[in-house]
Amino acid sequence: MHYRPLFYILFGLMSIVSYADNINLPDIGDNAGNISLAEEYRTGEAVIRNIRRAGGVLDDPIIQGYLNELGYRLVSHSETQQLFHFFLIKDTSINAFALPGGFIGINAGLILATKSESELAGVMAHEIAHITQRHHARQYEQGSNSIPIIAALIAAMVLGSQNNDIGQAALASVAAGSAQQQINFTRSNEKEADRIGINLLINAEFNPHGMADFFDTMDKQSRLYGDSIPEFLRSHPVNPARIADAKHRASTYKNGLESSSTTYHLLRSRLKVLASDDTAELLKDFSSKLSDGNYQNKEATRYGYALALQTNKQYSQALKQIDILIDKNPEQITYNILKAQIETDAQLYPAAIKTFKKLLNLYPGNNTVNLYYAETLLKANKIELADKILQAQISPSTKIPKLYQLLANTQAKLNKPASSHQSLAEYYYLLGQTHDAIKQLELGLKIANVDFYLTSRLEARLKEFKAELHELSSK
């Protein structure tokens, strides 16, 4: 199936509300008063699963951890009790967006376009404000019987899983709304998101000019794009008056954070490697910058160089570079994880396990460390220990596809086929492949001599998945 067209349409139409009388969609309410936070969460979660299915989410635990830390540093200064979920979009274009239910997507390209941590925090604060002010719920009440484009996209993707032409036709029908209505809604709420976002920046001790500086940079760059204006500016239109207003608000407060954290610079180096299509050329670039002293942060440049060496399978050189960093900062979690991963790729399993044990002594219970540790243990054929570690990471709120994929592997090797099918079902579900998830549960239920409790869990999950498909494909 070809889901890529749906993926790009999703970004372009994320904030449109329009009528869709001629296709079947779930009825999630026609005004803000009728839409609960739980309903918003279900809508946002379903969209994320479909973005995953399109291959659009970059699931990197290290970057994910940083975005969560940065995001919740901002959220902690709001009055909301809502949970937030930050995720990275595998796209080098400049964009960020908020979904109902506390889901915030940030493109790799946007992070690389920022010049400081305060700029990145400014964008995230703006998107957080869209959610805390429930702008999606307000948008739903723009017209009676209106249905949000987000729900329509979910339905179209579900239909498209069987017949892509049907999905595209559904999208075309739903997208035919009033452009002026969208623009008016966007202008009125963008200003509020700016105001709330700047307050979050200030209270979280970031430079309050971060938001205005990024908007200003985008506005200047947009003149070079012509018709290829960044999607961020299409969904977050800026003009001199808006930029001036943001700068004025920021100028009334004392600047907070003046310099970016080392972690921010490490994140950008990591993203450059993960997003690169030419790692050999990237290796030359990092090497040149390091030798010439042409860098913003030396440690981050060396870290990127080590990552590029690893990607190019130059493991001994990569270990030399990462050891230089660890000698200066022995307890830096990002450096030690990379060292263990390089050792794993080089099949130096005893050394990698030793590095992970050292990390777990420093950061006991760290989810990211444990996930990578379990992956190494699985490669080293220490299956039972890997399974034990992975099982300890599972909770009702776990939304990490890789964790379930690794767990399915350990369970299969431990001759637990029904449990393996259950884990694969969760893996496929998080990827938006609900039909495949249902097949895995059905396979698990066909296995003989499965205990009552596991059978009950399989049956319950199967019922949930089927009910969701029915809800999304018909009123």
Report the CATH number that the domain containing residue 470 is assigned in CATH. 1.25.40.10
Q: Are 235 and 123 in contact (CB under 8 A)?
A: no
Say what the pLDDT of residue 290 is.
95
DSSP 301-350: HHHHHHHHHHHTT-HHHHHHHHHHHHHH-TT-HHHHHHHHHHHHHTT-HH
Say what the pLDDT of residue 359 is.
95
Q: Are 468 and 441 in contact (CB under 8 A)?
A: no
Domain finish residue from 197, 227, 251: 251
pLDDT tens-digit profile, the chain (475 residues): 333 334 433 433 343 333 233 333 333 333 455 667 777 787 778 778 877 877 788 999 999 999 999 999 999 998 888 889 999 988 888 888 888 788 898 989 999 999 999 999 999 998 898 888 876 666 655 543 333 455 455 444 444 444 555 445 544 444 444 333 444 446 677 778 888 888 898 889 888 888 878 877 777 666 655 555 555 655 566 666 666 766 666 666 665 555 678 999 999 999 999 988 899 999 999 999 999 999 989 999 999 999 999 999 999 999 999 999 999 999 999 999 999 999 999 999 999 999 999 999 999 989 999 999 999 999 999 999 999 999 999 988 788 999 999 999 999 999 999 999 999 999 999 988 899 999 999 999 999 999 999 999 999 999 999 998 887 665 4
Q: In what order do the strands lie in the sheet with 85-89?
A: 85-89, 103-107, 96-99
Indicate whether 32 belongs to any domain. Answer: yes
Say what the pLDDT of residue 180 is.
38
| CA 340 – CA 178 distance, rounded (Å) | 54
Indicate whether 305 belongs to any domain. Answer: no
Indicate the burial class of 23 (C-beta count within 10 angstroms; 0-12, 13-18, 19 or more). middle
Indicate whether 345 belongs to any domain. Answer: no
Q: Which residue type, as a one-letter code, is found at position 268?
A: R
**236 Cβ contact partners less than 8 Å away, ≥ 6 residues apart:** 126, 186, 190, 215
Domain of residue 462: give its range: 394-475
Indicate whether 188 belongs to any domain. Answer: yes
Say what the pLDDT of residue 160 is.
47
Indicate whether 326 belongs to any domain. Answer: no
Say what the pLDDT of residue 395 is.
87
> For 56, left (φ over 0), alpha (ψ -120 to 50), or beta?
alpha
Indicate whether 358 belongs to any domain. Answer: no
Q: Number of structural domains, the chain?
A: 2
Domain finish residue from 202, 233, 251: 251
| CA 78 – CA 67 distance, rounded (Å) | 17
Say what the pLDDT of residue 397 is.
78
Indicate whether 359 belongs to any domain. Answer: no
Indicate whether 465 belongs to any domain. Answer: yes
Domain finish residue from 222, 251, 280: 251
| CA 81 – CA 71 distance, rounded (Å) | 14
| CA 98 – CA 105 distance, rounded (Å) | 6
Say what the pLDDT of residue 445 is.
97
DSSP code, position 18: E
Q: Are 338 and 306 in contact (CB under 8 A)?
A: yes
Q: Please give the torsion angle defined by the CA atoms of residues 417, 419, 420 and 423, in that order, rounded to the nearest 10 degrees.
A: 160
Q: Which residues pair with 106 in a beta bridge?
A: 88, 96
Q: Which residues pair with 104 in a beta bridge?
A: 86, 98
**224 Cβ contact partners less than 8 Å away, ≥ 6 residues apart:** none
